[in-house]
Amino acid sequence: MNRLSIKQLLIFILIFFLGIAVCNAQTGGRRGTRNPEKSLFGGKTRKVKETKVKEPRAATKAKRKQAKKQEKLKKDYKNFVNDSKKNAFKIQTPEVKARMKQNQKDITAREKAKKKRNNSSTRKAERKYR
């Protein structure tokens, strides 16, 4: 019985150490390349150069013409609005003209104060929430 238990103990120790040796076989740190796909599919991946599609001259010419037309329309509209304002101001009586001028001054002063207030509050909030 004693001999049998020693044999079992010896076999157990032998299996135990062999098992540890097998487990330790894979620990060696990182060896080889970091990316396994790199070793499988080659070194560097090349970027495919995108081909530029050049539009026909007629299309680019039409786009330029359209942009010019839009700018001209914006400019004409701006001039129309200014002329309309001047005409509306010109047909008023002197008292109304004076009141309109004063209103315009008040509006610009209010806008300036509002802008100043917004800027100062924004700066304070910017400093507060950094």
pLDDT in tens, 40-80: 766 665 677 888 888 999 999 999 999 999 999 999 999 99
**Average pLDDT over every residue of 108-127:** 82
Q: What is the pLDDT of residues 16-29, one digit of tens each?
A: 776 665 555 555 55
Structurally, the chain folds into a number of domains equal to 2
Please tell me whether residues 122 and 100 are part of one structural domain. yes
Give domain status of residue 1, yes or no.
no
Same domain (yes/no): 80, 98: no
77, part of any domain:
yes
For residue 125, what pLDDT is reported? 65
Predicted pLDDT of residue 116: 85
The per-residue pLDDT for range 38-51, each reduced to its tens digit, is 667 666 656 778 88
Q: Distance between CA 38 and CA 40 in Å, rounded?
A: 5
Domain with 102, as residue range(s), is 93-130
Q: Is residue 54 part of a domain?
A: no
Which residue type is seen at 23?
Answer: C
87 and 105 belong to one structural domain? no
82 and 104 in one domain? no
CA distance linking residue 46 with residue 48, whole number of Å = 6
Residues contacting 100, CB < 8 A, separation 6+: 89, 92
3-state secondary structure of 56: coil
| 33: in domain | no
What does the pLDDT average to over 1-15? 75
Neighbours of 97 (CB within 10 A): 13
